């Protein structure tokens, strides 16, 4: 016969909870639906960071601290639902990094992977394991896990890029390692463009051994190439109702995502489109490369312009109204979710 709890067990339950707490126990049944919700639940909120706000603060920071002293002069994009946690989504970091003419940001390596999406200015470089790449607006650059990297600006204008890192993922697993290089600037061992020539032309060297493990051997995907691809696609067929023309940056050695923890995309939305609502479990950061319009994220609406950044939390429907032809760069943890068999999407709201 099943035992029946006493109707007035409330006080006795509280007493039990109180006593077991000292022994580091707690009752699952009090929090079951918080821990296992019916649908994704996240403190991450929809938000936009206007470039018009960010730029003056960055330039002010540029007067107060050097890139070298700061190690990295970055304004962190704090998700308003998780302020102080240095997260833009639950799994990703975003920040604007400024490097002024003549500055260097010293060389180091860490297990966290990074991406850079150049927002403003040209002529700075990032060096990755002995090769430099010059940064231009719209370029997408990867710093693979555990590779030496430093930045410099031998040019004549300030350069700002959006940093995307998998810091919260690496923190969740407690797999953080970091090491400074012995010098500020690492030695150069290959000419600029060597990795793109070797791996970025639908050819690969015989016996190629992935130089960066699970990360793409191409560490710079120049904007002119991505933009040309999108322009050509737009001439050849109709846009997808949710995505417009959307392409994923890939690792040419595998055909899979360019980075093991972060997926990266670029999309073209034609002028006048109202994209069909789309949701997926990968909270996504968008940087506006071109165009303007309005984006609806869940129940909130934001106007966007070039160089603005906005975030779509997990399982929030996103829809764009393009007032002009738009090019959006975006990144999310989709590749990590897919590797773990967790990713889901739903087209149409
Ligand atoms: O440029 O190496 O935004 O190590 C955060 C951590 C940038 C970088 C960030 C970093 C870097
Ligand atoms: Fe770094």
Continuous segment of H or E residues that includes residue 223: helix 223-236
From 114, 119, 127, 161, the mutation candidate for ligand 1 (largest count of ligand atoms within 8 A of CB) is: 114
- The structural domain count of the chain equals 1
CA 203 from centre of chain? 28
In order along its 349 residues, the chain shows pLDDT tens digits of: 567 777 679 999 999 999 999 999 999 999 999 999 999 999 999 999 999 999 999 999 999 999 999 999 999 999 999 999 999 999 999 999 999 999 999 999 999 999 999 999 999 999 999 999 999 999 999 999 999 999 999 999 999 999 999 999 999 999 999 999 999 999 999 999 999 999 999 999 999 899 999 999 999 999 999 999 999 999 999 999 999 999 999 999 999 999 999 999 999 999 999 999 999 999 999 999 999 999 999 999 999 999 999 999 999 999 999 999 999 999 999 999 999 999 999 999 7
> How many angstroms does the Cα of residue 28 sit away from the middle of ligand 2?
40
Nearest to 258 by CA among 290, 226, 291, 224: 226
Q: Which domain holds residue 72?
A: 47-347
Give a yes or no: residue 26 inside a domain: no
Which ligand has the minimum distance to the alpha carbon of residue 165? 1
How many C-beta atoms lie closer than 10 Å to residue 101's C-beta?
15
Strand 245-248 versus strand 263-269 pairing type? antiparallel
Asked if residue 130 belongs to a domain, the reply is yes
* Domain membership flag for residue 213: yes
> Residue 94 in contact with residue 88, Cβ under 8 Å?
yes
Residue 37 falls within a domain, yes or no? no
Question: CA-based Rg of the chain, rounded to a whole angstrom?
Answer: 23
- Closest residue (by CA) to atom 10 of ligand 1? 72
Which residues in 8-20 are b (16+ Cβ under 10 Å) and which e? Answer: eeeeeeeeeeeee
Q: Tell me how far CA of residue 202 lies from CA of 128, 196, 248, in angstroms.
A: 22, 10, 16
Tokens representing residue 107 in the block = 């060389």
CATH of the domain at 330: 2.60.120.10
Q: How far apart are CA 27 and CA 262, in angstroms?
A: 36
- 150 CA from centroid of ligand 1 (Å): 9
Please give all residues whose beta carbon lies within 6 A of any atom in ligand 1, as ranges: 72, 74, 95, 97, 110, 114, 149, 163, 165
Asked whether residue 35 is assigned to any structural domain, the reply reads no
**Ordered DSSP codes for 97-140:** EEE-TT-EEEEEEESS-EEEEEEE-S--EEEETTEEEE--TT-E
Is 1 domain-assigned?
A: no
pTM of this prediction exceeds 0.95: yes
Centroid of ligand 1 to alpha carbon of 64 (angstroms): 19
**Residue 8 belongs to some domain of the structure:** no
Q: How far is the CA of 46 from the centre of ligand 1 (A)?
A: 24
Q: How far apart are CA 49 and CA 276, in angstroms?
A: 24
Minimum-distance ligand 1 atom for the alpha carbon of 110: 4
Q: Report if residue 317 sits inside a domain.
A: yes
């Amino acid at each position: 016969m099943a035992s029946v709890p006493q109707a007035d067990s409330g006080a006795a339950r509280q007493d039990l909870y109180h006593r077991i707490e000292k022994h580091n126990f707690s009752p699952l049944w009090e929090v079951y639906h918080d821990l296992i919700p019916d649908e994704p639940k996240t403190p991450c909120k929809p938000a936009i960071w206007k470039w018009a706000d960010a730029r003056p603060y960055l330039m002010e920071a540029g007067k107060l601290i050097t890139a070298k002293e700061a190690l990295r002069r970055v304004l962190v994009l704090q998700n308003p639902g998780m302020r102080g946690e240095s997260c833009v989504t639950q799994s990703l970091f975003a920040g604007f990094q400024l490097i002024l003419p003549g500055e260097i940001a010293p060389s180091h390596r860490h297990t966290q992977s990074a991406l850079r999406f150049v927002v403003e200015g040209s002529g700075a470089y990032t060096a990755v394991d002995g090769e430099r790449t010059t940064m231009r607006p719209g370029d997408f650059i990867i710093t693979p896990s555990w590779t030496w990297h430093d930045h410099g600006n031998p040019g004549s204008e300030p350069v700002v890029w959006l940093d995307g890192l998998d810091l919260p993922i690496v923190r969740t697993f407690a797999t953080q390692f970091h090491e400074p290089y012995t010098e500020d600037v690492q030695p150069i061992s290959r000419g600029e463009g060597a990795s793109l020539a070797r791996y970025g032309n639908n050819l690969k060297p015989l016996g190629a051994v992935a130089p960066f493990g699970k990360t793409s051997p191409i560490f710079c995907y120049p904007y002119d190439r991505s933009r040309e691809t999108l322009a050509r696609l737009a001439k050849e067929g109709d846009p997808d109702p949710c995505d417009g023309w959307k392409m994923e940056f890939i690792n040419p050695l595998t055909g899979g995502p360019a980075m093991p923890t972060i997926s990266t995309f670029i999309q073209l939305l034609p002028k006048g489109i109202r994209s069909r609502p789309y949701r997926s479990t990968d909270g996504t950061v968008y940087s506006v490369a071109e165009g303007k319009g309005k984006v609806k994220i869940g129940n909130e609406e934001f106007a966007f312009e070039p160089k603005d950044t906005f975030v779509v939390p997990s399982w929030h429907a996103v829809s764009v109204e393009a007032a002009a032809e738009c090019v959006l760069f975006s990144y999310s943890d989709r590749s990590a979710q897919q590797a773990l068999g967790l990713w889901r999407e739903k087209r149409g709201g």
